[in-house]
Structure 1
Amino acid sequence: MVIIRPIQLSDYDALHRIAIESGHGFTSLPVNEELLTQRINRAEESFNKDVKAPGNEGYLFVMEDTETGEVVGTSGIEAAVGLDDAFYHYHLGKVVHSSRELNIYNTVETLSLCNDYTGASEICTLYLSQSHRKNNNGRFLSRMRFLFIAEHLERFSQTVIAEMRGVSDDNGRSPFWNWLEEHFFSMDFPTADYLTGIGKKVFIAELMPKHPIYVNLLSKDAQQVINKVHEKTVPALRLLEAEGFCRRGYVDIFDGGPTVEAQVNSIKSVNESHKCQVLIGEVTSDDNYIICNTNVANFRAVQAPLLLRETANQAVISLATANALNVTEGDWIRLIQN
C-alpha cells in the first residue's frame, strides 16, 4: 500500500534524491542541504501550528510505499505566497497602436511584471518517482491536496494557483530565458532558477525590465514557448484543468510557463468530496477512492476501495485501510472517488 503523510526530518535523504531526480525548472526543491532542511522544518512547524487564517505556512507531503518504507513522491501546498518575499509573474496584455489618418491598426501583446497573486494559496512541488507512476498514484498525489484544503479551509486563501513548468531542454536551457539573459541578466536559466529556489530573489527586481516588454520584439523561439508547458507537465496540467483550473494570462518570469488558478469553491475535488463516519468491516467493492483522515499533524491519505452507506453518512473500510489512516470505528474521514 502507498500512503501520503506529512514530511519528517528523517525523510531528508529521500527529499534530496527527489530534488536531484526532478531536474531543472523544479524551483521549489533546490539541491541545497540547508534549504531542503529548512523546507522540512517549516513543514513540520506548519502541520503543528494552530491556524485561524492563511499565513506563511508551507505544507509538504510525501508518498511512502509501506511495503518497502521508501518515499517515492512528494507534493505541497503554500498557504499564502508572497507575504515575505515578492512573488513575481508576467501578465500578458495588449497595447493598440493605431492611426486613423493612415488607416493602420495594430494590436501588440505585452508582458508586464506584477505581483498580482500575492496572498494566494499555491499547490506545488509535485513529483512522483518513475517506479510508482502507475495505479493512479499521480492523480492520488495531486488530488489529495484538495481534500486537505477542503477539510481545513481556514488555512488557505480563496484563490488557489499552480505554476506549470515551462519549456526547457534536457540541459535546462529555456528559449524564453535565453532572450532575457542576452538583454538583461547575463546569467543562465539554471543559475537564475537555483537562486530563486534558495530565496535570493532580489536580483529579479534589480535586473528585470521595469516597463512592459513587447512580445513581438522577443526572439521567435521565445515567443513560441510563452504560455506553453513542458512536455512532461502536460498530464499535470490536464488534471488541474479537469479540477476547474484555468489560465488568466499569467506566466512564469523565467521559462514563460503558464500559471493556472481556481477559486476554492469551484475546485471539483473540494466540492465533490464529503465526510463519512468509519465502519470497519469486509469490503467487496472494487470502486477506488481517495480517503484521508481529518487530522493535520497526523494527516494520512490512501487509495482504497470502500462501501458507502450514503443514507447513514457512513463508509465501510477494511481494517488495513483504517490502520493506514490511523482511524478507528466512529472516526470521520473525507473521501472522493478516484
Structure 2
Amino acid sequence: MTFRIRPAAPRDLQSLYEMAKLTGGGFTNLPADKPALKTKLERSEAGFARDDDQLADDLFILVLENVATGQIRGTCQLLSKVGEKSPFYSYRIGALTQHAPELGRTFRADMLSIVTDLEGSSEVGGLFLHPHERAGGLGMLLARSRYLFIRQHRARFANRVLAELRGVIDDAGGSPFWDGIAGKFFGMNFQDADAFNAIHGTGVLANLMPKHPVYTAMLPETARAVIGLPHPSGRAAMRMLEAEGFHHDHYIDIFDGGPSMTAFTDRIRSVAEARETPITRIADLGEDEGEKLLVARGRLKDFVAAYAQVRAEDGGIAIDPAAASAMGLAVGDAVVTIPR
C-alpha cells in the first residue's frame, strides 16, 4: 500500500472535515467547521499559486493520500510567517529571585510573562493522522515532508521554525491551564474558546489576555501541573521534533499551556541532511537492496513526497516502480532524499 504527500485541494474539504471531527478538541489548526476549513483551503491555494520567492504570510496545507483508494488519511500545515496580521503571543516561563538577608532566606517566584518573542517565525503544525493509519511510519512521513517542503522553498520561510504542541486536555474536553488563567477573564469554558479560535483565529482572544505577569504560585495545582506538558497523544510528536533538532525554550501556548518548540531552520535535521540526486533507473528492488528513504520532488502545487525503496548507483539512484508511479517520476528527474 503506497501513500503520498501532496498539496491539499478544494476537493479535500469533506475529508479534512471528517478528520477534524476526530481530533478531540484543542486543535485550532484543523477546526471541525466547514466554512473555516474552506477559508483555510482557499488561503492555502493562494500560497501554492504564488510563484515568487518573497517571505510573506502564507499557509500551505498538505495531505496524506492513499494512492490506491484516493482516501485522505492525514494532513499537516506550514505557516511561513506568524504574527504578520496580528500579534503572536506566547507565555514565557521565567522566575524572579529576591533575597531577604534579615530572614536569611531567598525567595524564588516562578512566573508566566506574555511575550511576542516568536513573531516572524515560520510554523509547522496542524498534523493529524487518521487513527486507523497510526502505523508504518506515516506520522513521520507527514511530519518530515514539511521540512522537505521548506528546503524546496527555502526563501519562502524564516530563519526560525516553531511548532506548538497541544496542551493537556481532560476527558471532558476541558483544559486545566485555561481554567486556571484565561477562563477566569473570559467567562467561557475551553471548549467554547477553542471553537471560537478555530473559526475566528486566536488573535481576538489573545489580544484581550491580561498583559501582566502571572505568578504560578497563585494558580491552582491542576493548572501548575500541566504547564509545558504536551497532550498524551502529542508525546510522539514531541520526540520527533526533538529528533529534528527542536527544543523547548520555555515558551508555552497562552490558552492550553502546551509547549512551543523552536529550531533554527537550516539546522533542522531533515533540511540539513537532505540530498538532491537524479533518478538513473526505475526497478524492482527487494528489501535487502538499498534502503527505504523519504523522497520528494517538485515545487509548490507540484510538490509530492513518499517513502521509496532506493539504491545508490553511479551518478544517481534506482527507485522502486510503485513509488515512482505514485510520485509521477521518470528516469532523469531530480529528487530530494533523506534517510527514514
- TM-score, normalised to structure 2, is 0.95
- Provide, for residues 239-284 of structure 1, a one-character-per-residue CA deviation record: whole Å limited to 9, x for no partner: 1101110011000111111000000121111111100001233242
Distance in 2 between residues matched to 1:155 and 1:57, nearest whole Å: 9
Q: SS of the residue aligned with 2:136? A: coil
- Kept in 2: contact 1:246–1:262 (CA 8 A): yes
Gaps of 5+ in 1: none
- Provide, for residues 271-310 of structure 1, a one-character-per-residue CA deviation record: whole Å limited to 9, x for no partner: 111000012332425221110113221111111101112x
Poorly superposed stretches of 4+, deviation over 3 Å: none
Other-structure match for 2:310: 306
Other-structure match for 1:42: 43
Other-structure match for 2:214: 213
Aligned with residue 331 of structure 1, among 330, 333, 337? 333
- Provide, for residues 91-113 of structure 1, a one-character-per-residue CA deviation record: whole Å limited to 9, x for no partner: 11111222223222111111011
**Aligned-pair distance for 1:72?**
0.4
Aligned with residue 297 of structure 1, among 280, 287, 301? 301
- Kept in 2: contact 1:285–1:306 (CA 8 A): no
What are the equivalent positions in structure 2 for 1:92-171 lying under 5 Å apart? 92-171=93-172
Distance in 2 between residues matched to 1:23 and 1:183, nearest whole Å: 23
Other-structure match for 1:317: 319
**Aligned-pair distance for 1:322?**
2.1
Distance in 2 between residues matched to 1:91 and 1:192, nearest whole Å: 21
Other-structure match for 1:233: 234
Letter in 2 for 1:187: M
- Kept in 2: contact 1:51–1:154 (CA 8 A): no
Greater shift, 322-331 or 288-297, is seen at 322-331
Other-structure match for 1:288: 292
What are the equivalent positions in structure 2 for 1:54-73 lying under 5 Å apart? 54-73=55-74
Letter in 2 for 1:137: L
Other-structure match for 1:184: 185
- Provide, for residues 213-241 of structure 1, a one-character-per-residue CA deviation record: whole Å limited to 9, x for no partner: 00111001100100111111000000110
Other-structure match for 1:16: 17
- TM-score, normalised to structure 1, is 0.96
Greater shift, 118-127 or 314-323, is seen at 314-323
- Kept in 2: contact 1:164–1:259 (CA 8 A): yes
Other-structure match for 1:87: 88
- Kept in 2: contact 1:294–1:334 (CA 8 A): no
Distance in 2 between residues matched to 1:203 and 1:127, nearest whole Å: 24
- Provide, for residues 51-76 of structure 1, a one-character-per-residue CA deviation record: whole Å limited to 9, x for no partner: 32321111100001111111000011
**Aligned-pair distance for 1:130?**
1.3
Letter in 1 for 2:213: P
**Aligned-pair distance for 1:315?**
1.2
Aligned residue pairs total: 335
Gaps of 5+ in 2: none
Other-structure match for 2:272: 271
Distance in 1 between residues matched to 2:84 and 2:214, nearest whole Å: 26
Q: CA 1:181–1:264 in 2, change beyond 3 Å: closer, same or farther?
A: closer
Provide the aligned C-alpha RMSD in A. 1.4
Other-structure match for 1:4: 5
Distance in 2 between residues matched to 1:75 and 1:301, nearest whole Å: 13
